[in-house]
């Protein structure tokens, strides 16, 4: 999901920058949250992240015509975009798996210490 969230945010912010709209930190944070939530629903759908770009562009008042042009750019750079999105998804999967494993090992060690004390 991380790759889709980044794709949605980057393409929307690229469109905003191209138009010349100024973005404050709170709007960018809201965009990141909306992109992350949207990416949850788009995971596993081919081109799902590109389908959510118009939603992100609407946050800045960008018309649907221009938002669909941004989606068109996403299709043009599709091989690079999809490869980087997949790489980011894989790396975050490894990160969360490692975090869960570390937490599981710590819990197991604590349980063993408690049993030895008793």
**Can you tell me the distance from the alpha carbon of 78 to that of 72, in angstroms, rounded to the nearest whole number?**
9
Question: 22: how many CB neighbours lie within 10 A of its CB?
Answer: 7
pLDDT tens digits, 14-64:
999 999 999 999 999 999 999 999 888 876 777 788 888 999 999 999 999
- The tally of domains found in the chain comes to 1
For 68-111, write each residue's pLDDT tens digit. 999 999 889 888 888 888 888 888 889 999 999 999 999 999 99
- Token pair for 21: 């709209």
Range of the domain at 75: 2-117
User: How far apart (Å, rounded) are the C-alpha atoms in residues 69 and 75?
Assistant: 10
């Amino acid at each position: 999901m991380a790759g889709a969230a980044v794709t949605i945010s980057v393409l929307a912010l690229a469109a905003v920058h191209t138009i010349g709209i100024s973005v404050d930190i709170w709007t960018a944070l809201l965009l990141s949250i909306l992109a992350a939530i949207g990416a949850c629903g788009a995971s596993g759908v081919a081109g799902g992240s590109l389908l959510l770009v118009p939603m992100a562009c609407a946050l800045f008042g960008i018309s649907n015509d221009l938002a669909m042009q941004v989606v068109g750019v996403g299709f043009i750079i599709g091989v690079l975009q999809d490869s980087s999105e997949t790489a980011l998804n894989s790396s975050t999967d490894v990160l969360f798996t490692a975090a869960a494993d570390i937490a599981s090992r710590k819990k197991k060690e604590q349980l063993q210490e408690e049993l030895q004390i008793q």
